[in-house]
Amino acid sequence: MSSTVYKGKSGQWAFIGHRVTGFMVFFFLLLHVVDVSLINIDPELYNEVHHLYGNVVLRLFEVGLLGGLLFHSFNGLRIVMVDFFPGAIRNEKSMFTAVLALTGILTIVGGYVIMKPFIDGRILS
Amino acid sequence: MAKVQVELKVKRYNPETDKKPHWQEFTVEVEDTDRVLDALHVAKWTQDGTLTFRRSCAHGVCGSDAMVLNGANRLACLEIIKDVGTKITLEPIRGLPVIKDLVVDMEPFFAQYRSVLPYLINTSDPGYTERYQSAEDRARFDDTTKCILCAACTTSCPIYWGNSQYVGPAAIVNAHRFIFDSRDQAAEQRLDILNQRSGVWKCRTAFNCSEACPRGIKVTQAIEEVKRAILYDRV
């Protein structure tokens, strides 16, 4: 028998989002270390693997990664503000709204740039 | 004032007979101006005497009946049926071992409270005079004097659910009450205690504690003030 989900407000979801995006970014970094280090092993393999990043699925993955990175960065700044500026704590909810808005807008803009080849109809393999 | 049928869905668990917790529903008739605690009383007194929960004063002062009410920590004695609706889900507070139904073992919580030396420490003799404190100095820690140790804040904290070593918001609130008291001399000692791994740095500012406090204490703000006192070495 399960418990109900605790009904925390924006702070709880900011905390959970921060953790989830933190793990996302961390695992991407692990993957990134592996794909970049391939150049030491076999430059051909490096090229092949990096060619893969051009396909539509991985481009979409990059859009998700960008969103995760942006959320983690902006929310990190929100936490820094809460920690260091006594006045900021009164506005933590509106700061969270700003974090979401900035993340959303910049993900759409960045996502457009990342997906542009497909939007323009140029298909990369 | 009107009579209403209230559906109480209570998470029940008796470790002596049950392998795992289960939900039980009670339908009780109460006034819409009654409190959730009154509905629990009707269920216990007229339907199932084994239903177990804590309460003492029943007026939001003793802090005995904190529970997860419709998904968030509340005192059952302060929540009015009219405000919370007629479908009410009740669970024990999280992060502490369940003794039976809605009763949890508060000892780990009180041990954490005691660990921050929550009492006035002043070895100087004031003689036959009072320990003078200005209104401004008194106001410095006024908010944190309101704590009733109900554990609603500590058991709403996602960090505390996952790490019972964390002293928790309530202990920090009660440390704050004395750290910023101009008559006290042990601020440094308390800050040292809270500077440990189990102390304030475990706080990730999820703000659940501030939302849960039935006394309206700005818990996260108090924790942040203690963090800054440690960081800047200044009370």
pLDDT given for residue B197 in this prediction: 94
Confidence label for A1 from pLDDT (cuts 50, 70 and 90): low
Mutate to test the interface with B, among A19, A80, A83, A89 (most CBs of B within 10 A): A89
Rounded average pLDDT over B199-228:
98
Q: Is A2's Cβ below 8 Å from some Cβ in B?
A: no
User: Does A14 contact B206 at a Cβ distance shorter than 8 Å?
Assistant: yes
Contact partners, residue A121, CB within 8 Å, separation at least 6: none
Radius of gyration over alpha carbons of chain A, in Å? 19
Fold of B3-99: Ubiquitin-like (UB roll) (3.10.20)
CA B1 remoteness from chain centre: 30
Segment A45-103, tens digit of pLDDT: 999 988 988 899 999 999 999 999 999 999 999 999 999 999 999 999 999 999 999 99
- Written in H, E and C, the secondary structure of B127-140 is CCCCCCCCHHHHHC
Q: What is the mean pLDDT of chain A?
A: 92
CATH class (in words) of the domain with range B107-232: mainly alpha
Confidence label for A125 from pLDDT (cuts 50, 70 and 90): very low
Best mean pLDDT range from B16-20, B27-31, B127-131: B27-31
Rounded to the nearest 10 degrees, the angle between the axes of helix B219-232 and helix B168-179 is 60
Contacts of A82 in chain B (CB under 8 A): 205, 220, 224
pLDDT given for residue A122 in this prediction: 64
A123 pLDDT above the threshold of 80 = no
Q: Could you state, in order of their start, the residue ranges of all structural domains in chain B?
A: 3-99, 107-232
CA distance B110 to A113: 55
CATH class (in words) of the domain with range A10-119: mainly alpha
Q: Is A86's Cβ below 8 Å from some Cβ in B?
A: yes
Contacts of A1 in chain B (CB under 8 A): 11, 20-23
ipTM: 0.90
Q: What is the mean pLDDT of chain B?
A: 97
CA distance B202 to B204: 6
Instruction: Strand B87-91: give its sheet, edge to edge.
Output: B22-31, B3-12, B87-91, B66-69, B72-75
pTM: 0.93
